[in-house]
């Protein structure tokens, strides 16, 4: 018996050490990125492993002076916020109809939307570029936004339709008796109850929209419309040997998403797991 | 209520579904400008499958992509499953480990690619310094310059980044096993290994399918990691070229840098579509036929 307990403890210690090493392999490169961004180029070579001598924001200040970083950052925020807002509005209204009404083609329409979750939109890039040129929308933030919205629709419909189905029909019926029109049932009854699901949709879509590099690379040419990932690639190429600056560029691109994840990690796990188990 | 449905249907159809079909149509066209305008029938495909250098580039990207996919799939499934198994045991700090594993997934592939390019960089490269510190300096090589190591290094970096997704899916699968089942097994005297083999493994089988198909779709359209670590030229000597980077070069680069024109680009993306489509069909065939579907 005692031997058994001993064995169990050893196994547990081994598992624990394995997880500690795994976590270090994740945290170390990320920490290295942040720490190095505070070092001077000299320090980066003489003291690559240690902490920076001082946490001066020299590289960050330089980043904002040598490039239009403020513009890039602003563009990314505009694209992300507007895309998310529109995704939430149009997928919640569509899901409301899909979940609460009976009509021909209803199941087909649901599948039609949901199948989009596994369609890699990149494979339509040439046609989308052609469309943007025809619409004179090439090289505008609109081009990147509308594509982000299209990509966000399938997951939004998938999560929200399920969620609205779980809202008891009696609530809508009661509102109807009180003389509520269908759109106001959606506004007064459904939306307040839908908040957690809306949060999930927004949180899950936030990261791919913020990080998108492919479409900005293809669509955006002018400096005034560049987004953070595109600027990251640009500045990395331009300042390759200025390590401190380059690490500041990488850190700046990562802070918004990592902070967001640390704040909302619970929603991430719930949202993605529900997708995994149902899909 | 049609107005409630219309915006979603319109945007989704016009900017996602139709472009996929329209790109297939454009693969039958050729032309110098941004929009191919001359109908050429199957000419683009004939070039792509039979002529130099189109055929060589495509075969190369295909074989690289297969190798890349195998490395990522192996690492992410095996490692991801075991991490998930460990963090669902009674272990101190399991919540922390779960959270940390997903952290790299939130970063952009571009940032991760650049970060590891710097870490592996021969001039400053902290990785080589670590190897020297633990006495393994004989293993040091130009990681991204050597055709033998470049592609596996890219695959390992991608696995490092997306491991969190596998861990999350496997953890969800293991957590979904009803407690009564595990308890009944324990009462019957099953040890941890029997539990792993007879209860956990069978119930995460569908997760293997989901993780693998997601990797498949991601890897056969992967571009950002090649761009960040090996440039659009997929150095060394196209040794890290994947379908995504081939597609980008073919469609959007100048002829000097490997551009083949939009029509050829559309042909490449159509080939990619059919690869992804066959993968999804295979997955549906193997994992979804026994009523695993809802």
A56-103: pLDDT as tens digits: 899 999 999 999 999 999 999 999 999 999 999 999 999 999 999 999
Q: What residues of A are in contact with residue B86 (Cβ under 8 Å)?
A: 15, 18-19
pLDDT of residue B289: 59
Question: In chain B, which residue's Cα lies nearest the Cα of A266?
Answer: B99
Coil, helix or strand for B129?
Answer: helix
The tokens for B244 are 């995504």
Evaluate whether ipTM surpasses 0.95: no
Summarize the confidence of residues B219-237 as an average pLDDT.
96
In chain B the domains, ranked by start, together with CATH numbers, are 41-287 (1.10.3720.10)
Position A7 confidence tier, pLDDT thresholds 50, 70, 90: confident
Position B46 confidence tier, pLDDT thresholds 50, 70, 90: very high
b (16+ CB within 10 A) / e for B229-251: bbebbbbbebbbbbbbbbbbbbb
Contact A24, B160 (CB under 8 A): no
Summarize the confidence of residues B188-197 as an average pLDDT.
84
Q: Is the pLDDT of residue A201 over 60?
A: yes
Q: Comparing C-alpha atoms, which of A73, A113, A99, A83 is closest to residue A201?
A: A83
Q: Is the pLDDT of residue B294 over 50?
A: no
Report how many Cβ contacts below 8 Å link chain A to chain B.
Answer: 235
d(CA A208, CA A76): 12
Task: Return mean pLDDT, chain B.
Answer: 92
The structure's pTM equals 0.94
Q: What residues of A are in contact with residue B14 (Cβ under 8 Å)?
A: 131, 150
Q: Is the pLDDT of residue A271 over 90?
A: no
Which has the minimum average pLDDT: A11-20, A49-58, B36-45? A49-58
Cis status of the peptide bond prior to B236, with omega within 30 of 0:
yes
Question: In this complex, which of B12, B89, B96 lies closest to A113 when CB atoms are compared?
Answer: B12
- Which CATH number describes the domain made up of A69-278? 1.10.3720.10
Q: Comparing C-alpha atoms, which of B65, B51, B47 is closest to residue B238?
A: B65
Q: What residues of B are in contact with residue A93 (Cβ under 8 Å)?
A: 4-5, 7-8
Position A278 confidence tier, pLDDT thresholds 50, 70, 90: low
Contact B265, B250 (CB under 8 A): yes
d(CA B226, CA A213): 13
Instruction: Say yes or no: A231 contacts chain B, CB-CB below 8 A.
Output: no
pLDDT of residue B292: 44
- Residue showing tokens 């036929």: B289
- Tell me which of B19, B246, B271 to substitute to probe the interface with A (most A C-beta atoms closer than 10 Å): B19
Position A2 confidence tier, pLDDT thresholds 50, 70, 90: low
Largest CA distance in chain B: 73
pLDDT of residue A49: 85
* Position with higher pLDDT, B90 vs B86: B86
Beta strand B38-39 with B29-30 is antiparallel
- Tell me which of B2, B25, B106 to substitute to probe the interface with A (most A C-beta atoms closer than 10 Å): B106
Q: What residues of B are in contact with residue A268 (Cβ under 8 Å)?
A: 102
Q: Is the pLDDT of residue A279 over 60?
A: no
Report the sign of the C-alpha dihedral through residues B259, B265, B269, B270, in that order.
Answer: negative
pLDDT of residue A9: 84
pLDDT of residue B225: 98
* Cross-strand partners of B38: B30
Position B291 confidence tier, pLDDT thresholds 50, 70, 90: very low
Coil, helix or strand for B19?
Answer: helix
């Amino acid at each position: 018996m005692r031997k058994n307990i001993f064995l169990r403890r050893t196994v547990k210690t081994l598992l624990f050490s394995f997880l500690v090493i795994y976590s270090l392999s994740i945290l170390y490169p990320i920490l290295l990125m942040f720490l190095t961004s505070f070092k001077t180029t000299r320090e980066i070579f003489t003291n690559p492993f240690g902490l920076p001598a001082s946490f001066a924001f020299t590289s960050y200040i330089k980043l904002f002076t040598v490039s239009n970083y403020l513009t890039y950052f602003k563009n990314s925020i505009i694209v992300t916020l507007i895309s998310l807002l529109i995704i939430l509005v149009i997928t919640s209204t569509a899901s409301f109809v899909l979940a609460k009404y009976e009509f021909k083609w209803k199941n087909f329409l649901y599948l039609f939307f949901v199948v989009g979750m596994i369609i890699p939109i990149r494979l339509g890039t040439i046609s989308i570029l052609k469309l943007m040129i025809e619409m004179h929308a090439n090289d505008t933030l609109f081009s990147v936004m509308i594509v982000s919205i299209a990509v966000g629709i399938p997951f939004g419909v998938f999560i929200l339709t399920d969620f609205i189905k779980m809202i008891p029909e009696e609530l809508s019926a009661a509102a109807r008796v009180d003389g509520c029109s269908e759109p106001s049932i959606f506004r007064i009854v459904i939306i307040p109850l839908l908040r957690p699901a809306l949060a999930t949709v927004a949180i899950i879509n936030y990261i791919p929209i913020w990080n998108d590099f492919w479409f900005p690379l293809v669509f955006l040419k002018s400096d005034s419309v560049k987004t953070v990932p595109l600027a990251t690639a640009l500045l990395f190429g331009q300042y390759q040997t200025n390590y401190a600056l380059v690490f500041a560029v990488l850190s700046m691109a990562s802070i918004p998403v990592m902070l967001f994840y640390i704040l909302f990690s619970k929603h991430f796990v719930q949202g993605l797991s529900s997708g995994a188990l149902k899909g | 209520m049609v107005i409630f449905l219309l915006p979603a249907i319109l945007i989704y159809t016009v900017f996602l579904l139709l472009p996929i079909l329209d790109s297939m149509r454009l693969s039958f066209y050729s032309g110098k400008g941004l929009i191919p305008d001359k109908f050429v029938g199957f000419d683009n495909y004939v070039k792509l499958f039979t002529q130099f250098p189109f055929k060589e580039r495509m075969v190369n990207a295909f074989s690289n992509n297969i190798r890349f996919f195998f490395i990522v799939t192996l690492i992410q499934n095996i490692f991801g499953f075991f991490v998930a198994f460990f963090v669902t045991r009674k272990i101190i700090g399991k919540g922390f480990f779960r959270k940390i594993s997903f952290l790299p997934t939130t970063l952009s592939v571009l940032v991760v690619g650049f970060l590891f390019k710097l870490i592996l960089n021969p001039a400053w490269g902290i990785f080589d310094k670590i190897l020297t510190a633990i006495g393994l300096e004989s293993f040091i090589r130009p990681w991204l310059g050597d055709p033998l190591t470049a592609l596996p290094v890219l695959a390992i970096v991608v696995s490092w980044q997306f491991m969190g997704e596998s861990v999350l899916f496997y953890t969800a699968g293991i957590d979904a096993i009803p407690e009564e089942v595990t308890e009944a097994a324990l009462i019957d005297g099953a040890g941890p290994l029997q539990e792993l083999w007879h209860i956990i493994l069978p119930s995460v089988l569908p997760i293997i399918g989901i993780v693998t198909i997601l990797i498949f779709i991601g890897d056969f359209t992967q571009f950002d990691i090649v761009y960040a670590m090996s440039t659009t030229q997929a150095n060394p000597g196209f040794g890290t070229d994947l379908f995504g980077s081939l597609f980008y070069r073919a469609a959007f680069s100048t002829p000097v840098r490997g551009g083949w024109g939009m029509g050829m680009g559309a042909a490449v993306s159509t080939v990619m579509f059919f690869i992804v489509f066959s993968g999804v069909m295979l997955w549906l065939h193997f994992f979804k036929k026994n009523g695993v579907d809802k």
